[in-house]
Amino acid sequence: MPFELRIRENSHYRDESEAYDHGSFATYAEAEAACRKIVDEYLASARKSGMSADDLFRSYTMFGEDPAIDAAGPNGERFSAWDYARRRCRESCERAAPTISSPPSNSSSAARRASAVRRRR
């Protein structure tokens, strides 16, 4: 049984005239991989430096494509593009977030002060 993939535009929520077929896949795994690729491509194109996961997800839900598989997988699972996008936004933004380092050591300024005190004596 082939798995049909249909794309709906998040920017045209509930407007079936904007939806289109993306293809037919022999297995659920192939269809799911195609869905993930569609979501990942949008997130990669929409992500800006310093963007939060919430902002990236909001962008996806407003302007991204929402792929859906017409049937459940072999174990009854259903792919949710929004759940997948939410997880990928968190992963992407956490990975790219700058690390917070400890403040620079004050040892050099302490050494300068100690040196100035010795010179005054």
Longest Cα separation, the chain:
91
* pTM (two decimals): 0.76
Best CA proximity match to 49, nearest among 116, 102, 115, 97: 97
Q: In the chain, how many domains are there?
A: 1
- Per residue in 87-101, pLDDT tens? 999 999 887 655 444
| Beta pairing class for 65-69 and 3-9 | antiparallel
What confidence tier does 84 reach under pLDDT thresholds 50, 70, 90?
Answer: very high
Please answer whether residues 35 and 7 qualify as being in contact, where contact means their C-beta atoms are separated by less than 8 angstroms: no
Its domain, for residue 48, covers 3-120
